[in-house]
C-alpha cells in the first residue's frame, strides 16, 4: 500500500504573508531572515537529525527501539507541533511532558525545529507488524467502530481507515511501535500529555485491554 498523505507543503504560509503585509515597515535584513526561517531547509534538518536525534529515532526516522517513536512519514506540521509542545511543557495551550524531549528542545531553535520536522516527515516509512494474534479482532473493532456503548468514536474516523493519518490535523498511527502508542494513550489518560482534548477524552474511556489491542493492531497497519 502507498502512503498518499506525505506532506510536502510549506508549513508557515501565515508568517510569510504577515511579513509581506508589513514588509515596507521592517528593515530588509529582518525580512530576509524571517522568510528564510519559514522555509524548511532539509539539509539543515538532516544535520540536526544525524547529530542529535538519530541515536534514538534513527537517521531515517525508523527507530528500532520501541519506546522511541518512528518519525518517518509522519506529517511535518504534526511533528513541529509536538516539538513546540515539548518545549513549553507547563503551558496551558498544549503541554506534553517528557523529560528527555523537553531537555533536548531547550537547545533547539524554532527555525531548526521546522527543518528537522520537515526532514523526518520526508523519510520513507518502514512498516511494522502486529504481534498478538489473539487481540487482533478486538483491536480492529476499536479502530474501525470505536466503543459505542462508552462513547468512544472510531479511530479510523480521524486517523483515516489505513491509519496513515490526515495531514495536517491527524497523525499517522500505522506502523508505529505498539509500546509507544500504549504509552501515549496512558499519557493522555493520566494528563502528562494534554495537547489534545478529544484524545484525552477517548483515552479516558478505553479499557487497558482495548488500549493494548488497538495499539498492536495499528502497529501492523500499512
Residues 153-212 that bind ligand HEC (CB under 6 A): 153, 155, 157-159, 169-171, 173, 181, 183-185, 187, 195-196, 198-199, 202
Q: How far apart are CA 159 and CA 148, in angstroms?
A: 17
Region of residue 51 (phi > 0: left; psi between -120 and 50: alpha; otherwise: beta): alpha
What minimum distance in Å lies between the beta carbon of 179 and ligand HEC?
10
76: contact with ligand HEC by CB under 6 A: no
For 6, 87, 157, 199, the CA distances from 100, given in Å and listed in that order, are 27, 11, 32, 22
Site track for ligand HEC across 132-161, x = CB under 6 A? ----------x---------xx-x-xxx--
Q: Judged by CB under 6 A, which stretch of 1-9, 22-30, 31-39, 99-107 contacts ligand HEC?
A: 99-107
Closer to ligand HEC by Cβ: residue 19 or 194: 194
For 118, 156, 219, the CA distances from 1, given in Å and listed in that order, are 23, 17, 15
Q: How far apart are CA 218 and CA 117, in angstroms?
A: 23
For 7, 150, 215, 217, the CA distances from 177, given in Å and listed in that order, are 21, 26, 8, 10
Q: Cell 520513507 belongs to which residue?
A: 124
Closer to ligand HEC by Cβ: residue 48 or 138: 48
11: contact with ligand HEC by CB under 6 A: no
Q: Which residues bind ligand HEC (CB under 6 A)?
A: 48, 52-53, 55-57, 67-69, 71, 74, 79, 81-83, 96, 98, 100-101, 104, 108, 116, 142, 152-153, 155, 157-159, 169-171, 173, 181, 183-185, 187, 195-196, 198-199, 202, 214
Amino acid at each position: 500500500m502507498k502512503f498518499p498523505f506525505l506532506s510536502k507543503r510549506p508549513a508557515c504560509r501565515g508568517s510569510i504573508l504577515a511579513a509581506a503585509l508589513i514588509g515596507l515597515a521592517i528593515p530588509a535584513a529582518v525580512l530576509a531572515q524571517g522568510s528564510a526561517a519559514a522555509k524548511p531547509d532539509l539539509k539543515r534538518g538532516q544535520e540536526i537529525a544525524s547529530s542529535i536525534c538519530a541515536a534514538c529515532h534513527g537517521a531515517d526516522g525508523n527507530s528500532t527501539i520501541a519506546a522511541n517513536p518512528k518519525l518517518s512519514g509522519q506529517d511535518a506540521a504534526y511533528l513541529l507541533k509536538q516539538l513546540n509542545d515539548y518545549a513549553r511543557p507547563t503551558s496551558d495551550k498544549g503541554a506534553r511532558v517528557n523529560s528527555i524531549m523537553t531537555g533536548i528542545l531547550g537547545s533547539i531553535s524554532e527555525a531548526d525545529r521546522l527543518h528537522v520536522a520537515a526532514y523526518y516527515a520526508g523519510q520513507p516509512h518502514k512498516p511494522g507488524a502486529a504481534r498478538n494474534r489473539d487481540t487482533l479482532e478486538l483491536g480492529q473493532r476499536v479502530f474501525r467502530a470505536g466503543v459505542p456503548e462508552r462513547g468512544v468514536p472510531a479511530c479510523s474516523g480521524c486517523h483515516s481507515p489505513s491509519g496513515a493519518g490526515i495531514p495536517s490535523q491527524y497523525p499517522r498511527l500505522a506502523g508505529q511501535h505498539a509500546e509507544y502508542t500504549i504509552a501515549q494513550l496512558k499519557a493522555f489518560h493520566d494528563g502528562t500529555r494534554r495537547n489534545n482534548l478529544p484524545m484525552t477524552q477517548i483515552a479516558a474511556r478505553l479499557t487497558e485491554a482495548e488500549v493494548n489491542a488497538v495499539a498492536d493492531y495499528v502497529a501492523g497497519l500499512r
